[in-house]
Structures are given as structure tokens and as C-alpha cells.
Amino acid sequence: MPTPTLPDGDVVTLPRARSHSPLARAWWRDAVIYQVYVRSFRDTDGDGVGDLAGVREQLHHVRQLGADGVWLNPFYVSPQHDHGYDIADHCAVDPVYGDLAEFDRLVTDCRLLGLKLVLDVVPNHCSSEHPWFRKALANGPGSPERARFHFADGRGEAGELPPNNWRAMFGGPAWSRVTEADGRPGQWYLHLFTPEQPDFNWRNPDVAAHFEEVLRFWLDRGVDGFRIDVAAGLFKHPELPDSADPDVDERTRDSVNPLAWNQPEVHGIWRRWRAICEEYTARDGHQRLLVGEASVPTPAEQALYVRPDELHQAFFFHLLHAPWDLAHFHRVIDDAVRDIAATGSTVTWVLNNHDQVRTVSRFAGEDPASGPARAAAAALLMLALPGAAYIYQGEELGLPEVLDLPDGLITDPIFRRTGSRTGIRDGCRIPLPWSGTEAPYGFSPHGSPTAPWLPQPASFAAHTAERQRSDAGSVYHLYRTALQLRRELPQLGEGTLRWLETPPGVLAFVRGEGLVCAVNFGDTPAPAPVAGPPLLSSGPCGEGVLPPATAAWWIGPTAAERI
Ligand code: NOJ
């Protein structure tokens, strides 16, 4: 077993490494998965857009960081109205990202590097360019093709009003009217996101059968699991009645229209998908993962999605939405550990993703200078919690949100649909800075004719992977050391959490036998809960004191236990 050297030069002797035997507990239970937003990861052909070859080229970065696997955002054939969440062919690679042969090479590379490969599957809706939707438009009202979607006649004398009052998540009504083959205005179809993303009708058996084929297609190519988009969606109330609070979805961009989301029938689909995964496991003993984006209001409701015969995991988004506030963190961690652990699953923690303002900016509040330290402290906290964790590309480089993109460069359909910058997601999707001192910072090959699809700010020069690799005090090395310790220390990953009594402003807990994690949410230094230097800290931290906006890990008895 290697003996790691920590950034400050201290060497720590570690207990035995985790068993990798097939009889050991399932890999996903405390895995750390690195999320790759393919479009913004690495561009190898100079068109300004990331590609699968770029994922392959930088896989070593993920490996060296110490993650267990990668989740790829959608790279399937798509007109890109929602950057790949509008899919026209679920079983083909969009030419902008590569082709199936390149995908197969990526599977091989992941195997060679010991990384799991998780794909995005988007079952709630497709693209308006999907052949099924085109046929539905062509074949007219009452056709079996229309029955695969939610087509309905409008209200009003001439059907000029939508069938109900639901609003779309990305703004505007959740219905659009089509022009029929005779050139007249005709039926309406439902889309919970944009008009270019028609919702499937999951009460139609063709839809379930189609997605079973999609899952098998990718499982047969060797993937280790799926992240399921909109996993609390799919089924709608069978009568599609008016909502008592129609603006609820649009206002919160969270899944709370109880008629459009979280219908009981969806659990039957997850049981079926779990059975498919088990079928593959029965063949080779290797567990496949289903992790759901199941945005439901409470952890208790989320727990229903991860019952033993349903999804393995569901993202726990309450940290993703948490402000920098001790009481808030304490409450959501408590709720998650209690409700999710009771199902036999493990909590899937996430602080950043391709839909949210990056933590460096989100936690900054009034004072932008406080963001980097708070984001680093939150990361060390998250990586000490029991369960699995997802890291969003660039988080390990301490990237801030880019907030000053000119209106004309914004591509997020939310901006187009609402006319407002609230909730737009381009700022967390800026292409990654790999190297060099000026754009494209190694994202595209040197001298590429086309600029990156979103402009990178000059401030990215300080965040390149190249620069951070050679700086032992960088955010990159903090993540890397934390992940190394997670692999080696039996207290981390799955297991127990016990809260400690702390001074005001400090959150602290013990993992297993004696690993203590403490975070100072306050503005003044606080006494450290453990004597001696920390094993790892998110910022400068001496003995006995925990500076503000700092998290640290120690091994040893707490002050209370020493007395
Ligand atoms: C959730 C995805 O994370 C987001 O990026 C996408 O726009 C919506 N689902 C619609 O598919």
C-alpha cells in the first residue's frame, strides 16, 4: 500500500486499503463519480465544442484525481436546443461529439484505467426531431404515433386554448399547438421543458419497450450504469387536469406540480429497470448503477425512489441548493442520512452540476472574496459524509461561475423562454482551462480556427489544471488528497456519522472510529475539536484553531473525549 505524502510534506501511515474482491460491498455505495459535461471538457478537432476523443484524452486527469468513474452528459444525436437533453436518436453519437467507434474506444480506456462509465439517459422527453415525433405530426389526430406523446385538442371554441393550464419548467405554457397536414392549426402537445422537447406518454407500452432497448444497447456496449434525467417525471396525471397552482414549476424550477411529477406509476418503471440491471449482474457478477435525478420536495419522498428494488441511488440535491449556513447544512445532512439510510441505499451528495451556479460564486454571498475558501471547505465536508459523491468538472479547479456573459452569447433555452437571466446555466458550462495563459487554455488545439462555444474569461489563467498540478496548495491537490484518503481510510465512504458538540459557528462530526471533520461557518477563528495538526485542511490551519471558512479532518480523540 502506498504511503501518501500530504501537500504540507507530512507523511501519514494509513490503515489497510479497501477490499476490491467481488464479494466486497457494491462499488457504487461510496463511489466518487466525476461528471463530464462533454461539450465543455476537451475539444480535439478544433470546432470549439468538446468531444468524446477529448474525454479519452483527459481521462488520466480523472484517474489521477482519484475518482472512481465518470458520468457523461448526453452526447447522442440532438439538435442541441437544450445541449443534448433533446435527443433525436438515443442509440447514436452526435457527429459533433464523435461516433460509436470512438465511444467503444472510450469504454476500453475506462476499463484500462479502472474507471466506471455512467451514461445519461433521458426518458421523460425526446427531441421534436425524433422520428417518432415527426411521424406523430405527419400521421395526425387519433393515430397510434400520436398516442406515444401527449397530444390533445385545445379548449375554447376553436381549440385555440391549451388543454390545461400547466406551465413549462423553462418558461411559458407547457403546451404548443401544431399545424396539421391540411395547414390548419390543430392539436396541442405537452412539453414540460421547451417546445423542442415533447414529453413521452409513458402510459403507452411502446415507450417503455423503446427505453428497455436503449438500456440494453448501452449495457451491451459495456457501460456501468445510468444517470436518469427527470426521474420523478415520466407519468402525468391520467386526466391532465388543471393545476391549482399553475406557476409552481416555472417559478421554482423544481419538481412540484403534483399532477405532472412524482406519480406513483413511475416506481414500476424503476423496478423494471432495476430488474434489467440485475439480469446483467447475474451474468458477470458486476453491479450496474441507476442513479436518478429525482427532484422531489423532501428526503422522505426521495427515499421511495431508492427502495431496494428500485433505483440504486438518487442525487441528494439539498446540498446543491443549500446556502452557506451551518443550520441549513446540519439539517439537510441529518435528514438525508436518516431517510435514505433507512432504505438500505446510501446518500448521493452533490455540491455542483451543469445546472447550478458553481459553489465558489454561490457561497460568496455579499463578499466575492469569501467564495473560494467556502467552496473548498464545503467540498471537504461533502467528501467526509457517508455515501457517494459527485464532482462536477472544474469544481476540482476551483472555477467560479462566469456571471458576465453578454446576452447575445447566452445559449440556455431558459433565457430565450423567460427573457430573464435568473437560473441560466451557461456560466457553469464554460469550457475547461487545461493549460497555458490565454484562451482557449488547452481546451481546443493551439491555433484552432473556431473559438470555444462559450468564451473563457481571463481569470481562468489562474485555474488551469497544468498550473494547479504544480502547486501543492491548489484546490486540485486538496481534492486529490481528499479522494486518496477516502480510498485508504476505512472511516470514510460508507458508515456511521456522529455529531459533536461544538462552539457556535462550527459543524463537526465523527466518522467511524475517530475520523473527525469540522467546518467553521463563522467569521472568527474557533477552537479545533481535536488537538494536534489536521490530517488535511481546506486552507491554512495550525494546531488547536480552526480558521473561518475552513474545514479540516483529523484522526484522534476529540477534546471532549480527552477529558
Ligand atoms: C435536467 C438536466 O440536468 C438539465 O440540464 C435538462 O435541461 C433538463 N433535465 C431537461 O432534460
Span 481-506, pLDDT tens digits: 999 999 999 999 999 999 999 999 99
The pLDDT of residue 2 is above 80: no
Q: Residue 12 Cα, ligand 1 centroid: separation in angstroms?
A: 42
Instruction: Work out whether strand 313-316 and strand 289-292 pair parallel, antiparallel, or are unpaired.
Output: parallel
Q: Is the pLDDT at 203 greater than 80, yes or no?
A: yes
In short, whether 199's Cβ falls inside 6 Å of ligand 1 is no
User: Which three-class secondary structure string do you get for 213-248?
Assistant: HHHHHHHHCCCCEEEECCCCCCCCCCCCCCCCCCCH
- Report d(CA 276, CA 283) in Å as an integer: 11
Taking each helix axis from N to C end, the angle separating 371-384 and 475-488, rounded to the nearest 10 degrees, works out to 10
Burial class (CB in 10 A: 0-12, 13-18, 19+), 447: exposed
What is the C-alpha separation between 305 and 328, in angstroms, rounded? 24
Domain-located, residue 136: yes
pLDDT for residue 426:
98
pLDDT digits (tens, 9 = 90+) for 409-422: 999 999 999 999 99
Give whole-number Cα distances, 412 to 78, 198, 415, 427, in Å: 15, 18, 6, 10
Domain contains 545: yes
pLDDT at position 279 is 98
53-64 pLDDT, tens per residue? 999 999 999 999
Q: Which of 171, 190, 209 is the last residue of a domain?
A: 190
**Rounded distance, CA 455 to CA 304, Å?**
42
Instruction: Give me the residues paired with residue 175 across strands.
Output: 190
The answer to the question of residue 243 being in a domain is: no
What is the pLDDT, as a whole number, of residue 24? 54
Q: Decide if pLDDT at 289 tops 70.
A: yes
Q: What is the mean pLDDT of residues 514-536?
A: 96
Q: Would the pLDDT of 4 be above 60?
A: no
Whether omega for the bond prior to residue 144 falls within 30 degrees of 0, making it cis, is: no
Domain C-terminal end among 190, 206, 238 = 190
284 Cα: distance to centroid of ligand 1 (angstroms): 32
Question: What digits encode the pLDDT tens for the residues 78-131?
Answer: 999 999 999 999 999 999 999 999 999 999 999 999 999 999 999 999 999 999
Residue 138 domain flag: yes
43 Cβ inside 6 Å of ligand 1? no
In the chain, the percentage of residues whose pLDDT exceeds 70 is 93
Q: Is the CB of 122 under 6 A from ligand 1?
A: yes
pLDDT surpasses 70 at 548: yes
CB 120 within 8 A of CB 354: no
514 versus 462: which is more confidently predicted? 462
Whether residue 502 lies inside any domain: the answer is yes
Q: Which residues pair with 417 in a beta bridge?
A: none
If you measure from the C-alpha of residue 563 to the centroid of ligand 1, how many angstroms do you get, rounded to a whole number?
52
pLDDT tens-digit map of 206-265: 999 999 999 999 999 999 999 999 999 999 999 999 998 777 665 555 547 889 999 999
392 lines ligand 1 (CB under 6 A): no
Write down the pLDDT at residue 18: 44
Among the residue ranges 222-226, 310-314, 367-371, 464-468, the one predicted with the least confidence is 367-371
Q: What pLDDT is recorded for position 248?
A: 67
Q: What angle do CA 8, 14, 20 make, to 5 degrees?
A: 125
Query: Are 227 and 293 contacting, i.e. CB atoms less than 8 angstroms apart?
Result: yes
Residue 247 pLDDT = 72
> ∠ CA(394), CA(399), CA(403), 5° rounding?
120
170 Cα nearest atom in ligand 1: 7
| Chain-centre distance for alpha carbon 364 | 21
Q: What cell numbers appear for 133 in the block?
A: 415525433
**pLDDT value of position 295:** 84
- Which 3 state secondary structure label does DSSP give 197? coil
Per-residue pLDDT at 19 exceeds 50: no
How far is ligand 1, taken at its centre, from the CA of residue 122, in Å? 9
Q: Is 355 in the pocket of ligand 1 (CB under 6 A)?
A: yes
Query: Which amino acid is residue 394, in one-letter code?
Result: G
Instruction: Give residue 367's pLDDT.
Output: 85
Whose CA is closest to atom 3 on ligand 1?
355
Which mutation among 35, 80, 85, 392 tests ligand 1's pocket best, with the greatest number of atoms within 8 A of CB?
85
Which phi and psi (to 5°) does residue 37 adopt?
A: -90, 95
Query: Which residue has its alpha carbon closest to ligand 1 atom 10?
Result: 85
For residues 40 and 58, what is the distance between their CA atoms, to the nearest angstrom?
12
Q: Is residue 306 part of a domain?
A: no
Q: 265: number of CA atoms within 13 Å, CB side?
A: 14
pLDDT of 540 higher than 70: yes
CATH number of the domain that residue 157 is part of: 3.90.400.10
* Cα 85 to ligand 1 centroid, rounded to whole Å: 6
Contact indicator for 337, 534 with CB cutoff of 8 Å: no
What residues have CB less than 8 Å from 192, skipping those under 6 apart? 124, 125, 166, 168, 169, 174, 199, 230, 233, 249, 260
154-160 contact pairs (CB < 8 A, 24+): 154/187, 154/188, 158/185, 159/185, 159/186, 159/187, 159/188, 160/185
Report the pLDDT value the prediction gives residue 561, as an integer from 0 to 100: 73
Q: Which of these ranges, 61-65, 196-200, 368-372, has the smallest mean pLDDT? A: 368-372
Rounded Cα gap, residues 355 and 531, in angstroms: 40
> Which of 82, 194, 390, 417 maximizes ligand 1 atoms within 8 Å of its Cβ, making it the mutation to test the pocket?
82
Taking the CA of residue 230 as reference, the ligand 1 atom at the shortest distance is: 9
Q: Which residue has the higher pLDDT, 528 or 16?
A: 528
> Is ligand 1 within 6 A of the CB of residue 82?
yes
CA distance 167 to 173: 4
What percentage of the chain carries pLDDT values higher than 90?
85
Distance CA 497, CA 106 (A): 37
Give the count of domains, the chain: 2
Residue 245's pLDDT is what? 79
Residue 533 CA neighbour count, 13 Å, CB half: 11
Average pLDDT, the chain: 92
Residue 174 falls inside a structural domain: yes
Residue nearest to atom 5 of ligand 1 (CA): 355
CB 529 within 8 A of CB 509: no
Distances (CA, A) of 56 to 40, 60, 436, 453, 534: 14, 8, 20, 20, 36
Contacts of 303 (CB under 8 A, 6+ apart): 339, 340, 342, 343, 345
Instruction: Read off the C-alpha cell for 461.
Output: 489563467
Is the residue at 354 inside a domain? no
d(CA 198, CA 214): 18
CATH code (residue 552): 2.60.40.1180
Last residue of a domain, one of 170, 190, 210: 190
Ligand 1 atom nearest 85 alpha carbon: 11
Q: What ranges in 179-244 are assigned the alpha helix state H?
A: 205-220
Determine if ligand 1 sits within 6 Å of the CB of residue 193: yes
| 257 C-alpha to ligand 1 centroid (Å) | 17
Cα–Cα distance measured from residue 54 to residue 131, given in angstroms and rounded to the nearest whole number: 29
Taking residue 560's Cβ as centre, other Cβ atoms within 10 Å add up to 10
Strands 69-72 and 32-36: parallel
Residue length of the chain: 563
The predicted pLDDT at position 5 comes to 33
Residue 366 has pLDDT above 50, yes or no: yes
Higher pLDDT, 562 or 203: 203
Ligand 1, atom nearest to 82 Cα: 7
Instruction: Look at residue 551 in the predicted model and tell me its pLDDT.
Output: 98
Query: Residue 164 sits in which domain range?
Result: 131-190
CA separation for the pair 276, 278 (Å, rounded): 5
Query: Given this model, what pLDDT does residue 21 score?
Result: 39
pLDDT in tens, 324-355: 999 999 999 999 888 888 888 999 999 999 99
**Contact between residue 77 and residue 92 where contact means Cβ atoms under 8 Å apart:** yes
Higher pLDDT pick, 4 / 457: 457
Catalytic residues: 229, 279
